[in-house]
Structure 1
C-alpha cells in the first residue's frame, strides 16, 4: 500500500501540486523543466502530507502550512536528484532520473534549484514570523543532517564491519531527520505547545526509521516495477544496508565468507543480489528487519498519545511499516 493513497493524502495532493508549481515555475527555462520533471508525477508526498497532518493534529489548518509543506517536498526531491547522481542510478519512480535525462551538470543545478525553491517557500510567511523562523531552522538543520547521512553512506561502501549502530545513525540522518522536521514544523506553525511539538518530532523520527528500514528491504522483497527503481542499486554500490548487516551478523562462516567476497566487489550485481537474498533468507534477516520496521512504527503511534486529532498520523505510521513500494 502506498502512503500517498490514504484518504488524507488524496485530500491534500491537489493543493500540494498547485503549491509546488507556484514555487518551482511553469517550465519556461531548462532549470524549471528539469525541476518539474523531478517533482512530477509526484511520489508519495509523505513529508508534506505529514507536515499538514501534524498541524491538523494540534488544531491547525492546511493554509497555515501549505507553502512550508511544499518547501519540505522540494528539499526532499532535491536530495533524491543528488542521491541518484551519487549512486549513478538511471531510474527513479519508474522513469529515467534527472541526470539520465538532462545530464550530470544539469541535474546538479536542478537539485540546487529545488533546494532554493524549498527555502523560499518555507520562508514565505505564515501565521507568525517567529513560528516560521523556528520551523525553518528545524527544517534546515534536518537538511544539513541529511547531507551528513548521504556522505556517511558513501564512506561505508564495502564495509560489512561498520556495525548496526552506524547504519541506524545513517538512516536517522538521511531519512528520519527530515521526516521528523516536517512533523515538528507543522506543529510549530499551527501553534502547538512545546510538549505537542516534541511528541510529533518523536513520532516523525520513529516513522522515518520505519520507512527507511522498509525501503532497504524492498530490493529483496519487491519487483523493480513495483519499487520504481532498480533492485540491484545498493548491491552494485556495495552498500551495507541494514538487512545486509543483519544477515552478516547472523550468518555462519560459509555465508559470511560469501557476503565478504561480494562486498569486495567484482561480482556481477545480479548474481550478487541473488546470493545476498539467499543468505538473508537462511539467516532470517528479512523477517528481523521487517520486525524492526514494525517496532519503530509502533513507537511512532505511541508518541501520538494525548494529541487532539492524530488518527490519520497513526494510519500513516502503519502504512510506513507495511508498504510494498
Structure 2
C-alpha cells in the first residue's frame, strides 16, 4: 500500500495508514471505494506527520494525536479531489484523478465523505478542551484554504496580479493548513503558548517553502516524477510565482511572449515551452528557489528552543529541496 515518501517521519506511515482505514472503511460501498482510491497509495502524508512530530517536539507522543492527524489527511485529500475538479485535472499522483475515474458527481460526494470522516476522526478523543481548540485552529485554516482556492480562480489569465497576490494565495491554500497541523499537534500535546506559536510559525513557513517548490516543479521535473501534468497550470492560465517573478523583470519581448502564452487559444504544450524559456532567461527559476530556501530557513529558525525538533528541521530542508 505504501509508496516512496519523504523518509523523515516514515515510522509514522504504517500507523497513519491503519488509522485512515479505520475511519474511511474497507471498501464495502462505492463511497468507501472512491475515498480509499483517493487516499491510497498515500502521498507524502506531510500534514499528519507534521502534526505527530509537533506533538513529539513538545514532549507528547505520536499516538496521542494519531486520530487527529489522520483526520487532517482526510480533509487535505478531500480538498485535492475538489481542486482537481476545479482545475479539470485528469491526473493525481500519477493516476487518474477521482473525477476522471469515477465521474464528477461521485468525486464531489467522495470529497464530502472524506471531509466528514476527517471531522469525525479529529473529534474522536482526547481532553475535550484541547480537542476543541485544535479543531477550531484546523477549521479556520480550511476556511483560508477555500479563500485561497477561490482567489486562485479569480486571477487566472492575469499576469498583472503581482507577486504579493500569489504569495497570499500560497499562504491561504497551503501554508495555513501546514501551520494548523503543527499548531494542533502542539495543542493536543499540552504545549505552552510559546511553543504552540513557534510550531505554528514553523508550519506556515514550511508550507510556503513546500508550495513555492511545487510551483517550480512543472518547469524543473518530469511528469513521471511529480505524478501530475506539467502543463496543468499553463492550460488553466494560472499565473504561478515563477511566472510572475519573470513577468516583473522581463523585457518587452519576453513580456509579450508570456502574454501570448497566457491566451486561451495558445496550445498548452507550446505555451509551456515558451514560458520555460522566459523563466530561464530572466532567472525566475533561481529566484523562486531562493525564496523557498529562505522560507525553509525561517521555519528552522522558529524551532529554536524546542526540546525535540530534529525531524521537523529535516522536514523543512526537504520541503525546500524536493524534486517531486
- The residue aligned with 2:182 is 183
Shift of 1:264: 2.4
Q: Distance in 2 between matches of 1:74 and 1:146?
A: 15
Partner SS, residue 249 of structure 1: helix
- The residue aligned with 1:82 is 82
1:220-266, Cα deviation, whole Å (9 max, x unpaired): 00000000000000000000000000011110000001111221221
Q: How many residues align?
A: 322
Q: Distance in 2 between matches of 1:186 and 1:47?
A: 10
- The residue aligned with 2:201 is 202
- The residue aligned with 2:63 is 63
Q: Distance in 2 between matches of 1:166 and 1:301?
A: 25
Q: Is the 8 A contact 2:58 2:191 kept in 1?
A: yes
- The residue aligned with 1:223 is 222
- The residue aligned with 1:132 is 131
Partner SS, residue 4 of structure 1: coil
Q: Distance in 2 between matches of 1:181 and 1:211?
A: 15
Q: Distance in 2 between matches of 1:208 and 1:108?
A: 26
Q: Is the 8 A contact 2:261 2:272 kept in 1?
A: no
RMSD: 1.0
Q: Is the 8 A contact 1:51 1:182 kept in 2?
A: yes
- The residue aligned with 2:6 is 5
Q: Does residue 97 in structure 1 map to residue 87 in structure 2?
A: no
- The residue aligned with 2:33 is 33
Shift of 1:63: 1.6
Q: Is the 8 A contact 2:167 2:241 kept in 1?
A: yes
Q: Distance in 2 between matches of 1:188 and 1:282?
A: 46
What are structure 1's unaligned runs of at least 5 residues? none
1:244-299, Cα deviation, whole Å (9 max, x unpaired): 00011110000001111221221000000000000000000000000000000000
1:188-237, Cα deviation, whole Å (9 max, x unpaired): 00000000000000000000000000000000000000000000000000
Q: Is the 8 A contact 1:214 1:321 kept in 2?
A: yes
What are structure 2's unaligned runs of at least 5 residues? none
Q: Distance in 2 between matches of 1:271 and 1:261?
A: 10
Q: Distance in 1 between matches of 2:277 and 2:4?
A: 29
- The residue aligned with 1:274 is 273
Q: Distance in 2 between matches of 1:282 and 1:236?
A: 22
Q: Is the 8 A contact 2:99 2:107 kept in 1?
A: yes
Shift of 1:3: 9.0
- The residue aligned with 2:299 is 300
Shift of 1:9: 2.3
Partner SS, residue 305 of structure 2: coil
TM-score (norm 1): 0.98
1:17-75, Cα deviation, whole Å (9 max, x unpaired): 00000000111110100000000000000000000000000000012100000000001
CA 1:192–1:209 in structure 2 vs 1: closer, same or farther (change >3 Å)? same
Q: Is the 8 A contact 2:9 2:53 kept in 1?
A: no
Q: Distance in 2 between matches of 1:143 and 1:112?
A: 14
Partner SS, residue 9 of structure 2: helix
Shift of 1:5: 2.9
- The residue aligned with 1:262 is 261
Q: Could you tell which deviates more after superposition, 255-264 or 94-103?
A: 255-264
Q: Distance in 2 between matches of 1:35 and 1:143?
A: 19
Q: Is the 8 A contact 1:3 1:46 kept in 2?
A: no
